[in-house]
């Protein structure tokens, strides 16, 4: 070691001035400049300029997980991934939003947050009506308006909707006094006009129609919510940072950023977060699910 610090480095790169002690090290370095990648993965074809990089890459395919978390048993194939994971337990949040002070433990989470909350950039556009969003998941929810897909279903009466907040409202009906009953499915409600509107579910009637894009629905309230898409109105505004949205439920979720409320909790390691989707992503740490392949 002493010799290395006192002697010159005889092998030098003519392109960038990098110097080293061994000719083999210089050869490896030269591949960086030339773009040459000698070490190729037989499984997926990905190539590297160092054999050590290929060895690390092969753990993706072999399932070998050398690095393990002592707190919860999570294992991964990269030391950097383990360091990032440990921040879940330590509460360390290296990445902070300069606008509102929100912090997180991954740079990619901060980028997504900045695009979702503060950015005016809207990359995801609906081909049906032209409305644009800054998140792909928001676009997917919006598309359900056009397709009629209703992923949230009430087990009591079969009522279906495309937003979880609408299902929660529906479920409240079952806990109150209900005297009007649907003869088709047994659905119960408090008021006669509610029953009339419900019957349209079975008849397939959609009397309320959007004059802009032709979208139709069974309830006047649904049409009012839909029209916000075209008007661009965002009546629900955050008093903390000025963020505005078109649904009260969206604002409630946003406010958790400022209040620190973390409704969704991991039963395995105690990690808590603001959004259900974030918890689903976190659970892959414990299940080992890797939906995105290189």
Collapsing DSSP states into helix, strand and coil, what is residue 99? coil
What confidence tens digit (pLDDT) does each residue in 71-92 have? Answer: 787 788 788 888 888 887 887 8
What's the pLDDT score for residue 239? 80
In this predicted structure, the answer to whether residue 119 has a pLDDT above a threshold of 70 is no
What's the pLDDT score for residue 177? 55
Q: Is 74 exposed, middle or buried (0-12, 13-18, 19+ CB in 10 A)?
A: buried
Cα distance between residue 159 and residue 152, in whole Å: 8
Cα distance between residue 263 and residue 272, in whole Å: 7
Work out the pLDDT band at 48, boundaries 50, 70, 90: confident
Mean pLDDT across 271-286: 82
Q: Which of 58-62, 140-144, 156-160, 288-292 has the lowest mean pLDDT?
A: 288-292
Q: Which residues pair with 208 in a beta bridge?
A: 217
Spatial CA neighbour of 219 closest among 164, 168, 170:
170
Work out the pLDDT band at 5, boundaries 50, 70, 90: very low
H runs (alpha helix) in 63-212: 79-90, 107-113, 136-147, 164-175, 192-203
Percent of the chain with pLDDT over 70: 90
Percent of the chain with pLDDT over 90: 0
In this predicted structure, the answer to whether residue 4 has a pLDDT above a threshold of 70 is no
CB 210 within 8 A of CB 226: yes
In order of their start, the domains of the chain are 2-62 (3.30.160.60), 124-231 (3.30.160.60)
Mean pLDDT across 244-254: 80
In this predicted structure, the answer to whether residue 201 has a pLDDT above a threshold of 80 is no
pTM: 0.31
153, 170, 188, 234 from 175: Cα distances, Å:
16, 10, 10, 32
Work out the pLDDT band at 3, boundaries 50, 70, 90: very low
Work out the pLDDT band at 6, boundaries 50, 70, 90: very low
């Amino acid at each position: 070691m002493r010799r290395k610090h006192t002697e010159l480095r005889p092998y030098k790169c003519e392109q960038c001035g990098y110097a080293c002690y061994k000719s083999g090290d210089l050869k490896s370095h030269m591949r960086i400049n030339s773009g040459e990648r000698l070490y190729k993965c037989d499984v997926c074809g990905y190539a590297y300029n160092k054999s050590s990089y290929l060895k690390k890459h092969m753990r993706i395919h072999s399932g070998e997980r050398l690095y393990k978390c002592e707190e919860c048993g999570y294992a991964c194939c990269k030391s950097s991934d383990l360091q990032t994971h440990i921040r879940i337990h330590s509460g360390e949040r290296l990445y902070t939003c300069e606008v509102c002070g929100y912090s997180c433990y991954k740079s990619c989470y901060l980028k997504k947050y900045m695009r979702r909350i503060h950015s005016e950039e809207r990359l995801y556009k609906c081909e049906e009506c032209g409305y644009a969003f800054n998140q792909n998941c928001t676009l997917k929810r919006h598309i359900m308006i056009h397709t009629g897909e209703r992923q949230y279903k009430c087990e009591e009466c079969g009522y279906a909707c495309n937003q979880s907040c609408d299902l929660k409202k529906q479920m409240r009906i079952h806990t109150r006094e209900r005297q009007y009953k649907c003869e088709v499915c047994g659905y119960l409600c408090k008021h006669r006009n509610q029953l009339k509107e419900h019957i349209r579910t079975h008849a397939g009637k959609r009397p309320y129609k959007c004059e802009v894009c032709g979208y139709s629905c069974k309830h006047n309230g649904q049409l009012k919510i839909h029209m916000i898409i075209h008007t661009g109105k965002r009546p629900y505004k955050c008093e903390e940072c000025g963020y505005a949205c078109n649904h009260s439920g969206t604002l409630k979720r946003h406010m958790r950023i400022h209040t620190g409320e973390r409704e969704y909790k991991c039963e395995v390691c105690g990690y808590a977060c603001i959004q259900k989707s974030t918890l689903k992503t976190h659970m892959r740490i414990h299940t080992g699910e890797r939906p995105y392949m290189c």
